[in-house]
Amino acid sequence: MSREIKFRAWEKKVGRMHTVMRINWTDVVDVGLLFHGVQVTHPTPDGEVGMHFQAHEVELMQFTGLLDKNGVEIYEGDIVAIDLWHGNEHGYIPEDGVIQWHEGSCAFKWFGGDKSDLNNYWLSQADEKQREVIGNVYQDKELLK
């Protein structure tokens, strides 16, 4: 089984999302891999233009390999509404949460409410028809309130 490995980048200074074209890594003795820079595409009226950033200028978000019910790719940092079963007369009710990498599970998980280990779900447990990207933590912070 394989999945597509790709990233997007949030440009901190101007607050703009970019598609990552390439990530440059440099070997450094006794340090391991050191992040060196990111090349992204930036849409312009004439088409896409490549731009370069240093690591501290962007926040990288990895693609989870999953899509939502509208065919939208789900990335780290996305705010996703998931229809959760409440086991009562209300049935499935959408709840908003943030997609984050969970080290202990070695997986992307959906964290709702207080973002604790008690209020998270395996993103892959929700059927594609039960999840919808409604924003991200950089452009839509008001959705987290």
Q: Is the pLDDT of residue 10 over 50?
A: yes
Give the pLDDT band (50/70/90) at residue 28.
very low
Give the domain range for residue 40.
Answer: 7-59
Radius of gyration over every alpha carbon of the chain, rounded to an integer in angstroms? 17
93 and 123 assigned to the same domain = yes
67 and 113 assigned to the same domain = yes
35 and 103 assigned to the same domain = no
> Mean pLDDT, to the nearest integer, of 52-71?
89
129 and 86 assigned to the same domain = yes
| DSSP state letters, 47-75 | EEEEEEE-GGGEEEEEEEEEE-TTSPEEE
Does the pTM surpass 0.95? The reply is: no
Number of domains in the chain: 2
- Identify which has the larger pLDDT, 38 or 130: 130
CATH (domain of 73):
2.30.30.290
52 and 81 assigned to the same domain = no
Q: Is residue 1 part of a domain?
A: no
Q: Is residue 74 part of a domain?
A: yes
- 28-33 contacts, C-beta under 8 A, 24 or more apart: none
Give the pLDDT band (50/70/90) at residue 32.
very low
95 and 38 assigned to the same domain = no
φ, ψ of residue 2 in degrees (nearest 5): -135, 155
